[in-house]
Copies of this chain bind each other. A is one copy, B any other.
Amino acid sequence: MAYLGIADEDFIRGKVPMTKQEIRILTIAKARLSSEDVVYDIGAGTGALSVEAARQVMRGHVYALERHQEGVQLIRANAEKFQVHNLTVLETEAPAGIETLPYCDCVLIGGSGSRLRPILEAVDGKLRKGGRILLNCITIQTLSEAIDFFRAHPAGFRYETIQVQVNRLRQIGPYDMAQAQNSIYILCALKQDGNLADSSDGEQDANA
Q: Which residues of A contact B (CB under 8 A)?
A: 1, 3-5, 22, 25-26, 29-30, 32-34, 114, 138-144, 147, 151, 160-169, 174-183, 185
Contacts and interface: CB of A to CB of B under 8 A. Distances in A.
A176 B161 contact: yes
A139 B176 contact: yes
Count of identical protomers in the assembly: 4
A143 B178 CA distance: 12
Given A5-B29, A26-B22, A29-B25, A143 B141 contact: no
Contacts of A29: 3-5, 25, 29
Contact of A166 (B3, B114, B163, B175): B163
9 contacts: A5-B29, A22-B162, A139-B178, A141-B176, A162-B166, A163-B166, A163-B183, A165-B180, A178-B183
Among A34, A175, A178, chain B packs the most CB atoms within 10 A around the CB of A178
Contacts of A169: 140, 160-163, 185
A149 B22 CA distance: 25
Nearest to A142: B175
A174 B116 CA distance: 14
B175 A139 contact: yes
A164 B139 CA distance: 16
A99 B139 CA distance: 35
Contact of A1 (B1, B177, B179, B181): B1
A168 B147 CA distance: 14
A178 B182 contact: yes
A138 B4 contact: no
